[in-house]
Amino acid sequence: MDAYVMTLSFWIIAALVVFVFIKSTIQIVPQQHAAVVERLGKFDRTLSPGLGFTVPFLEKVAYRHSLKEMVLDIASQVCITRDNTQLKVDGVLYYQVTDPRC
């Protein structure tokens, strides 16, 4: 009985190690996103949307960027023109990440 428990625990631990190894190898990147992969702390490549693979313990996904267009609302400010008229100006800034490497 004791040998059976030992072999069963060995196989459970081995299955957990294999599961962790596979989970760290497979990277799923959603649409409109990009993942920056670093190998030993240095930029290696970017993963495009879909299924990607990394080398466990050598590579890691350092950043996950959204490639969607984002909106930044600029607070309203009071400006004075040349003829001493006050204007209230506000704005909206649209920006998008085009190169996720940086």
Tally of domains in the chain: 1
The reported pTM is: 0.68
**Is 30 a member of any domain?**
yes
**Is 100 a member of any domain?**
no
**Is 102 a member of any domain?**
no
Domain that holds residue 10: 2-95
**Are 46 and 98 within 8 A, CB to CB?**
no
CA 37 – CA 56 distance, rounded (Å): 12
Question: What is the reported pLDDT for 1?
Answer: 63
Question: What is the reported pLDDT for 31?
Answer: 94
- Please give the chain's pLDDT, 102 residues, in tens: 677 778 889 999 999 999 999 988 999 999 999 999 999 999 999 999 999 999 988 999 999 999 999 999 999 999 999 999 999 999 999 999 888 876
